[in-house]
Amino acid sequence: MKPIPLTEETAAVARRIIWFEPPELALADPVRFLAYAMERATAADLRVLHPHVSAADWRAALAAAPPGIIDPRSWAYWHAMFGTSPPPPPPNRNLSRA
């Protein structure tokens, strides 16, 4: 997956979606950023991202989403959007000690 470029528009989206870190850091990991976008993006945010993110990129980000970012409703929605219904179980955090 290619990086999402840092522009004025993508930085504004990144600031809103991942408010707790600088846009440069948020956009540096496109899979993580898109997972947050699947959870929090508005239609306007998605229009900004559309020229930079392909459908294959969205699918790849959904398949590799870190645990704990996408809520169950968004998880079901995005899987339905990509024709995977019912959705697989979401990723789980492994909190056991080795």
CB 72 within 8 A of CB 84: no
Q: Could you tell me if residue 86 is inside a domain?
A: no
Q: Residues 64, 31: contact at Cβ < 8 Å?
A: yes
Q: Is residue 91 part of a domain?
A: no
Q: Could you tell me which residues come within 8 angstroms of residue 49 by beta carbon, excluding any fewer than 6 positions away?
A: 4, 10, 13, 37, 41
As a whole number of angstroms, the distance between CA 95 and CA 22 comes to: 28
Q: What domain range is 77 assigned to?
A: 8-81
50 contact partners, CB below 8 Å, separation of at least 6: none
Is residue 90 assigned to a domain? Answer: no
The pLDDT of residue 98: 59
Consecutive sets of 10 residues in the chain, 98 residues long: mean pLDDT of each? 94 97 97 97 97 96 95 95 88 75
pLDDT given for residue 67 in this prediction: 95
Task: Note whether residue 98 is domain-resident.
Answer: no
Number of domains in the chain: 1
Q: What is the DSSP annotation of 51-65?
A: TT--HHHHHHHHHTP
Residue 95 lies in a domain: no
pTM above 0.95, yes or no: no
Residue 25: inside a domain, yes or no?
yes
pLDDT given at position 94: 77
